[in-house]
Amino acid sequence: EQENECVFCLHSVKKSINNQNTVVNTNACNLGMSVMQPGSGSGRESFCEAEALQLLAVHYGLDMSPDADMKVTELYGFEDRNFLIKVPARDRCCADSVSLNPLPEKFLLKVFCSGHSRKRIQAITDLLLHVASCCEVKCPKPFLNLDNHMATLIVREEAGGEEDDDAQRPTGIRCTCTPRCTCPRAQEKCTCAQRTAVVLEFIDGEPMTHWTPSSSQCQLPQADLPYSIDELMHEVGQCCANLQHALQTTPPEIVAVIRSQPTDEWNLLKLPSVRYLLPVSELSVDLHKLCSDVIDMYESDVVPAIQSGSLRPGIVHADMSPGNVLVQDELARSHITGIIDFSDCAHSCLVFELASCAARFSVPAHDPARTSCHVVRGFLGTFPLTLPERGVLYALVCAQLTMSFLLLKKQLHLDPECDIQDLVEPTATTLQMFWQAGQVRMEEEWYG
């Protein structure tokens, strides 16, 4: 019942139909959903660089004296706040002598969004340790704080009240108060007084959203993609499959926690819920019909397969996107250095991981069908799908593109300043290209 419940906020439509190419439902406000106010924010936590340094000094023993040569750079995060910290060895102070795994000279401080429970974050850090020990693909390893815990609970002074009782909070989370920061950026309104921070290993490489091939890889014109890029997409599929193998060996106690937590709204299990976004997304008639048809196909093809148990369940990364795959150029060849951001990991259907990866790496791409083909074949060479899973892959790829498009539209309406404008239209275009190609052609490309 929780999975079928609509959790989206939708804005009510107050204007009349002025354009025959626009589909609008003036009764959308009567659907029993919350009102989505433009500019209400992206839900990112307010947390500034000064607060990050204070946290590291209190909980990781880093030297905060004026002479300390510490560099802090905030990295992009859709909801969480991520800070790259560079600390010379001489300034790492007592942390090396107290912590069981001392911090390196370069690491990442991740402040999770308030949507994640502390119990879930603890499970994610345990999962990262497990994956780091058995996965062929490099993933960020969490580091211990001075109390030898992997997660630190931040309680702002504005929260008031007493700290949580130790007996009621998950093992490994230290409850304490961080000194109030005087930085103006810290005065932003915060939706949650308590956040959880984790220090993670920093993996060298550039997110594929920012990566461009080296000059030696760009000898061919744009109309004919270099073979090295095709090869890299094949490696993306292989890395996704290798990670999938490692996740299937996750200890049962971690699986139980992740499974018990509410899934993210981007999870493909919740695709039918995004149908409520159609009347208020101001789509063209053709695009509205396309999204509706994809949701219908999901309900007729995928839902019965889930209900019958034909699709294998398990833990998935759930966000295998270009922003979470790191790549580096070496000797005129690009290779993947790691996979990051396990915040959205979920207990779902295993084939969902491949569908999500193939869809997201096809946006934007010069030839989405060709890109997805290399991703799928790279994955299948390491992690074969069953016949029922192969039968629903096309529907799931289209479903992922539909969900991404509608939720990006929603996010852009909530926060017009967020950096996703360049993804909205390419996602819709890629969806149209896959739909026009059809299931038969795409399956021939994927499965040979």
What digits encode the pLDDT tens for the residues 339-359?
999 989 999 999 999 999 999
Q: Look at residue 194 in the predicted model and tell me its pLDDT.
A: 67
DSSP 10: B
Sheet holding 325-330, edge to edge: 206-207, 325-330, 333-339
Distance CA 112, CA 98 (A): 25
Residue closest to 190 by CA, chosen among 153, 163, 162, 157: 157
Angle at the Cα of 208 (from 197 to 405), degrees rounded to 5? 85
Contact 7, 147 (CB under 8 A): no
Predicted pLDDT of residue 15: 27
* Encoded tokens for 133: 């020990």
Burial class for 80, CB neighbours closer than 10 Å (0-12, 13-18, 19+): buried
Strand spans (E) along 186-249? 194-201, 206-207
Q: Are strands 194-201 and 151-155 parallel, antiparallel or unpaired?
A: antiparallel
**Both tokens assigned to 273:** 């819920």
pLDDT, position 315: 96
Residues (pLDDT < 70) of the chain are 1-45, 66, 89-101, 114, 155-194, 211-227, 262-264, 331-332
Residue 209 confidence (pLDDT): 83
Calpha distance 195→182 (Å, rounded): 18
**If you ran DSSP here, which 8-state letter would residue 121 be given?**
H
